[in-house]
Structures are given as C-alpha cells and as structure tokens.
Amino acid sequence: MLHKREYFEQLENNPRDPSHWHALFLDKSIPFSPDAKAAFLYDSSRKTKQFLYPFVRVFARLCIMLLQVFKAIMPNVINAPKMLHRSLYLGMKYFITPEANYLILRHFVLGSEVLRFIKDNVHHIDDIPMHPLKPMDLNAVKDNLFLQHDLNLYNFIINLNNAMAKKGVTIQKVDQPNFNAITIDDNFPFAPFRDKWTNCLDLANAIEIFTPVYQFFLTDNDFWRASNSLQLDEVIGLYAATILDCPEKLVALNNKHPMVPLPTTSAAFRLTLHGLSTEVLHGLLVQQKRAAEKALTVS
C-alpha cells in the first residue's frame, strides 16, 4: 500500500477546504504504521463508506436480530465453518477493495506478533502452545482463519494465566523487553490483491455484511464467543503496557469492559475498533523496539 502513503504525502492542502483524511494521516498522536494508516484512511474516504454504509449498517443489524431469534430456537442446527470461510474468501477476493484486504490479512499477522511478544516477556513461562497466523494471500482464509484467530486469543489468555498461577509469577515490567517477535518492516510479502471494478466494498461495509454471514454459518455459542472476543483488546493491551510500563498508551484501545457483554448487533463496529486497536498496540511495540535499538547503538 505504498502508493496510498505517497498519495497522502504528496497531497496539497487547500486552507479553504482541508481534507479530513489528510489531517488524520499527518497526525502522529497515536502510534500507527504509515502504510496501514494510509490504506485505512484511503479506504474510509470512498463514496461507498459515505453513502452506502448507513443503509448497509441498518440492513445488516436487522439480519443479526432476525438470526438471533432463529438461533434462539435452533442454536446448533447450522455449524459450517468451512462453508463460512469459503464464503468469506469469495467475498474478499471479488468484492472487497485491495486496501481492505491488505488490512484484514495484516491484522492476523500483527495479532500473532503481539501475543508472542507477551509470551516472550513473562518470565518462566515457556510451555504455552501457540498457533501463529501468518496469511500472505487470500487462500489462507479458507483454512478457518477467522475462527482460529478468535480461538487463539481465548486460548492464549487461558493458558497464560494458568501457567502463571502454576509457576507463581505475574506479568511485570521488563527493563529490557524481548522484541524479537515484532516486525519493524511493514512490507509483509502479501500476494497482489485483485483490483477490478467489482472490488468496491470498503472495509466498514464489508465487515457489516460479513457479520450476519458469520452468524448464519456458526452455532449460536460460536458466534456469541466470537462477538465477546472483540472486548478483549484492553486485556491484551494491559499485558503489553505492564511489560512496557506505559499504561497511559492504552488511550486508543477502545473495546473496553470485557466483563460486560455487549449486544451482537454492535459486533461489526466493534470489529473495526478491534482492528484499529491491534494496529495501535503493534505500532507502540514498533516504537519501543526502535527506541531500544537506538539506545543500544548510542551506548
């Protein structure tokens, strides 16, 4: 997405008509990969987000409510994760913008790196099973990618806390954190994304449409678990902030209050926030890694 970054970097400001997206791209108040930020803002500036999204959002939430009634009566009659991921793959390949696909695949990579960073910096914890996700093309989606991402998050928190209780340790500040898991270079070798006239759905619209599809193909319990996982950002953020001793940096992690379940109708919006929170947390870790490497060079 380098060309999107160049688009914003070369954009001329009109004082009488400044661009909202240009201002946000130039703002550096929160850590965020410039390439990912440019892709997100360029995708958000599409006309589909402005004019189509309000209608898609209402329709998608109505579908979720109707499916909730259906699932309450027959919660387990449909359980087809393979069909779900096949549908997601086709939708992503043929209808979603390249920028949105880039951000989605990138999210899985960053999430795996963040979890590994936390594991590497909790002393005496070495035996936690990990299932890192490193999808480099859309074909990886067909291998239950989204469902595995949710399972990874829950299993990591459960296994980490069980291991800490067994060893009698806690997450603490680390003076010299291990940043080996964090990739500084953003140029992940993703395969080129299809960019035809049908690839017009921005990220927000795609998430709204995919959420009831997700709900339809999964059992009620699987969808409820996936929806609640979106509120675990603060938990993971607190782990990382404790290691780095910078809790004030959690200001941009918005999916809070994990012990208070929210309605599934808001899952799509919270999923967007979940993606942004992961970007911000990973961006913070990149900043800290660069600072640590600079300090070593100076010394």
**Domain positions in the chain:** 31-189+200-298
Task: From 183, 165, 184, select the one nearest 122 (Cα to Cα).
Answer: 165
pLDDT at 187: 80
Average pLDDT over residues 63-83: 95
Question: HSE (CB half, 13 Å, CA atoms) of 113?
Answer: 25
Angle at 151 between CA 190 and CA 162, to 5 degrees: 125
User: What predicted TM-score, i.e. pTM, was given to this entire model?
Assistant: 0.94
Angle between the N-to-C axes of helices 98-120 and 34-44, in degrees from 0 to 180, rounded to the nearest 10? 140
Q: What is the mean pLDDT of residues 19-45?
A: 93
Q: By C-alpha distance, which of 274, 282, 272 is closest to 249?
A: 282
pLDDT band at 153 (very low <50, low <70, confident <90, very high): very high
Residue 299 confidence class, pLDDT cut points 50, 70, 90 = low
CA distance 212 to 58: 12
Q: What is the pLDDT of residue 101?
A: 97
Q: Give the number of C-alpha atoms closer than 13 A to the C-alpha of residue 109, restricted to the C-beta side.
A: 22
Task: Please report the pLDDT score of residue 251 as a whole number.
Answer: 65
Distance CA 119, CA 107 (A): 19
Which of 231, 233, 232, 227 is closest to 279 using CA atoms?
233
CB count, 10 Å around CB of 251?
11
Position 30 pLDDT exceeds 90? no
- Nearby residues of 54 by Cβ (< 8 Å), 6 or more positions away: none
Confidence of residue 16 (pLDDT cuts 50, 70, 90): very high
For residue 265, what are the CA distances in angstroms to 53, 72, 167?
15, 15, 40
Q: pLDDT higher for 260 or 161? A: 161
**Is residue 201 helix, strand or coil?**
strand
Structure-token match 């005496």, residue found: 124
* Greatest mean pLDDT among 125-129, 154-158, 294-298: 154-158
Report the number of secondary-structure helices (H) and strands (E) in the chain. Answer: 12, 0
Q: How far is CA 289 from the centre of its chain?
A: 21
The structure tokens listed for 23 are: 């201002």
Q: Using CA atoms, how far apart are residues 251 and 263, in angstroms rounded to an integer?
A: 23
Largest CA distance in the chain: 66
Question: For the residues 279-299, what does the mean pLDDT come to?
Answer: 87
Residues 96-108, mean pLDDT to the nearest whole number: 96
Q: pLDDT per residue over 182-241, tens digit each?
A: 999 878 999 999 999 999 999 999 999 999 999 999 999 999 999 999 888 889 988 998
| Average pLDDT score, the chain | 91
Percent of all residues in the chain with a pLDDT value above 70, rounded to a whole number:
96
pLDDT greater than 90 at residue 294: no
Mean pLDDT, residues 70-82? 94
**Given this model, what pLDDT does residue 254 score?**
66
User: Residue 63 contacts by C-beta under 8 Å, 6 or more apart in sequence?
Assistant: 212
**Cα–Cα distance measured from residue 64 to residue 171, given in angstroms and rounded to the nearest whole number:** 38
